[in-house]
Chain A
């Protein structure tokens, strides 16, 4: 009788363990990737570029204002995109970096946005800089405020675009991202109306992508989304990209920032 009971207990335990293992096997892999994330090399490189004197004016980014005052990086990314009085626009991290490259370092716009997306043939300075600046807000909570009228307008535009069906496939972001359990092939798609899921998304961008062997910024990620929806190419730093970023980051308010993230 004792023996039988032991056997039942063993089966019961093994079932428990098997289930836990099946559910967690993906998480285990993700954890291993996150522990030694090659994206950290982009942070290192971005830090060097940030302090390097660059451009015709031979200036570093140290005086660049990301919303909390010149040179203040800690927590700055958590409040982006935000309205900047000097440019009279709502700007995300990358458009702010471009502004500083133009005003502080003396680059032209064309020079500043050259090679904004890296690929297998060349690395992008912009991606390294954005990853570094974002990583200085690690541990802070995403907190996009819509206190300025323009911030609110941009947020509403982003919300509209998120739900607006368009293009040859009559597709909206909402088509895939407003229900639980949707997949594209084997990839789970986050339901962006669920606070927990959208927070997991905004907490980890820029992220290192294993399949691309490079870091992607949010601008680059949205470009890919729009391409997958067969819409015309999303302009770099375009109003649409900033509207969507504002909408997503605001929806993800409260997310604990941990950059660089790591994705497949």
Chain B
């Protein structure tokens, strides 16, 4: 079902303020559904953020991260028009990659 992420990247000086919203159930494996059965664990285990093809963040996540996670990072040395791409992989092997360009400060 992997839905698109929402990524914003705006330049502040030579630092890009990158804000990423992801849509993911992030099941802890401890919640029970309406029938009383345990909902299997389902979480994003790896997030990679790339700046013009170069990895700037490679994060290992666990089920402790909230549902529909928000991630904010600052990327140094960015210029307007640079490409920021984000890829997540979850424990079921599903992935989603989205890309945005760094916007000039408004």
B76 interfacial contact with A, CB 8 Å: no
Pairwise interchain contact B31-A44, C-beta atoms closer than 8 A: no
* Chain A nearest Cβ from B97, distance in angstroms: 16
Query: Which B residue sits closest to A128, measured CB to CB?
Result: B3
A72 interfacial contact with B, CB 8 Å: no
Which residues in A have their C-beta under 8 angstroms from that of B3? 41, 44-45
Interface centre among B23, B34, B72, by most chain A C-beta atoms within 10 angstroms, is B23
Interface centre among A36, A40, A45, by most chain B C-beta atoms within 10 angstroms, is A36
Which residues in A have their C-beta under 8 angstroms from that of B72? 36
Which residues in B have their C-beta under 8 angstroms from that of A45? 3, 23
B13 interfacial contact with A, CB 8 Å: no
A38 interfacial contact with B, CB 8 Å: yes
Q: How many angstroms between the C-alpha atoms of A213 and B25 in the bound complex? A: 9
Pairwise interchain contact A41-B23, C-beta atoms closer than 8 A: yes
- Contact A40-B31, Cβ < 8 Å, known A45-B3, A213-B68: no
1/0 per position for B62-95, CB-CB distance to A under 8 A?
Answer: 0000111010100000000000000000000000
Which residues in A have their C-beta under 8 angstroms from that of B25? 120
- Contact A36-B23, Cβ < 8 Å, known A44-B3, A44-B4, A121-B34: no
- Contact A40-B21, Cβ < 8 Å, known A120-B31, A121-B33, A121-B34: yes
Chain B: residues with CB nearer than 8 A to chain A?
3-4, 6, 8, 19, 21, 23, 25, 31, 33-34, 39, 66-68, 70, 72
Q: Which 5 A-B pairs have the closest CB atoms?
A: A213-B67, A38-B68, A41-B23, A36-B19, A121-B33
27 A-B residue pairs with Cβ-Cβ distance under 8 Å, sorted by A, are A35-B19, A36-B8, A36-B19, A36-B21, A36-B70, A36-B72, A38-B21, A38-B68, A38-B70, A40-B6, A40-B21, A41-B3, A41-B4, A41-B6, A41-B21, A41-B23, A41-B68, A44-B3, A44-B4, A44-B6, A45-B23, A120-B25, A120-B31, A120-B33, A121-B33, A121-B34, A213-B67
